[in-house]
A = this chain, B = another copy of it.
Amino acid sequence: MRLEEIGEFGFIKKISRGCLIRADSIVKAIGDDAAAFVTASDELTLVTTDLLVERVHFMMHGISGFALGHKSLAVNLSDIAAMGGTAREAFVSIAIPKNCPIDYLEDFYDGMKSLASEFDVNILGGDTTGSKADLVINIAVVGSVPEDEMLCRDKARPGDVVFSTGFLGDSRAGLYLILNEIVAGTKGLEELKSTHLMPKPFLREGRFLARRPGLHAAIDVSDGLSSDIGHIAKESSVGVRLYSDKIPLSPGLIEFCERFDLDPVEYALAGGEDYTLLCTISPDRMDSVARDYLETFKEPLYPIGEIIQDKRMEIIGLDNKVRSLSPRGWDHFKL
């Protein structure tokens, strides 16, 4: 079936099914000029939005509709996670080129609904329109957080331990495999691809961490470790020292870097789209939080460095030499 056969309103009707996961507090869902809902009066409202453009953020032949739906929502949920919040309502705008298969679009909505359902998020509205060239997706997510638990970029303090909630660099490696159409062949390499295509939003982990005393700053790793720790340092007016031997590297990334003769630490530093949480915490709290975290999520926290007073970014190499660290992540407009 083609889009033009069912029309805009037929399409909206088709995709509206299964969008309302949590009906309490919702007064108007899809179908009026705006959605209307009750927000928790004792919490701050959070809003984040992300735009994904074909040929810039994804290639349609390189990602299934389902994975694209998952990812488009996941990157927004990750922003709410980085604020320590709970995600609540999602608004999905999509510009669809004429030749886009309707099956792909249905898979896209299925991928989104599957993730929304996992995190109790409603898809409450959006906009559907045509596009002359590229498939374009914008999602805005509304969430909430108790004011005294909100995690920000500008609260890091000298002495804080810096940690990541997961491996770094995998997504970039997965993207390399996909773009170069390399058949993975091993479980480790295959996992790099799925890390890139179906990133995990650390929402439950973000809420858990936000409630811990001593947790100061947080960001999700979207631009890449070196860039994102740079955002924390800049916003908090502090510096940072990372340790090469502590950067968490997955077995898949190590295998990948051996195969393509790359330095895995360099690769992880300049990665992007990892969507792990990067946090800073009072050093006396690190051990107990890491212990509770491991018990709750069966995953470790990875301490990778510390916040320093001097506003400089440095990294201690495997040879114990100090090197200057510069942001090498993604900038959409730089050459």
Q: Pick the residue among B8, B125, B126, B153 that contacts A332 (CB under 8 A).
A: B8
How many copies of this chain sit in the oligomeric assembly?
Answer: 2
The answer, yes or no, to whether A60 is at the interface (CB within 8 Å) is no
In chain B, what residue has the closest Cβ to A206? Answer: B33
Contact of A134 among B44, B49, B134, B147 (CB under 8 A): B134
The answer, yes or no, to whether A170 is at the interface (CB within 8 Å) is no
In Å, the complex CA distance between A39 and B54 comes to 35
Give the chain B neighbours of A33 by CB distance below 8 A: 48, 78-80, 82-83, 153, 218-220
B49-A126 in contact (CB<8A): yes
Chain A window 17-36, contacts with chain B (Cβ cutoff 8 Å), 1 for yes, 0 for no: 00000000001100111111
> Contact between B45 and A45 (Cβ–Cβ < 8 Å)?
yes
Contact A4–B49 (Cβ < 8 Å): no
Q: Mark A140-169, 1 if CB is under 8 A from B, else 0.
A: 101101010010111000000000000000
Among A88-96, A264-272, A290-298, the one that faces the other chain is A88-96
Contact B333 A53 (CB under 8 A): no
A325 sits at the interface (CB 8 A): no
Are A47's CB and B140's CB within 8 A? yes
A46 within 8 A of B: yes
Question: Pick the contact of A56 from B32, B95, B143, B220 — CB < 8 Å?
Answer: B95
Q: Which residues of B sit under 8 angstroms from A130, Cβ to Cβ? A: 53, 56, 332-333
Tell me if A7 counts as interface (CB < 8 A to partner B): yes
Among residues of B, the one whose C-beta sits closest to the C-beta of A54 is: B132
Shortest beta-carbon distance from A273 to chain B in Å: 13
Q: A321-335 toward B: CB 8 Å interface, digit per residue (1/0)?
A: 000000000011111
CB-CB < 8 A to A41: which residues of B? 39, 41
In the complex, what distance in Å separates the CA atom of A143 from the CA atom of B35? 10
Closest to A141 in B: B34
Q: Are A142 and B47 in contact (CB under 8 A)?
A: yes
A35 proximity list for chain B (CB < 8 A):
46-48
Closest beta carbon of chain B to A94's beta carbon, Å: 7
Chain B residues with Cβ below 8 Å from A218 are: 33
Other than the known A28-B150, A36-B45, A36-B145, what 14 A-B pairs have Cβ atoms closer than 8 Å?
Answer: A7-B334, A8-B334, A31-B153, A33-B82, A33-B83, A33-B153, A33-B218, A38-B44, A49-B140, A50-B127, A53-B129, A91-B140, A133-B133, A138-B140
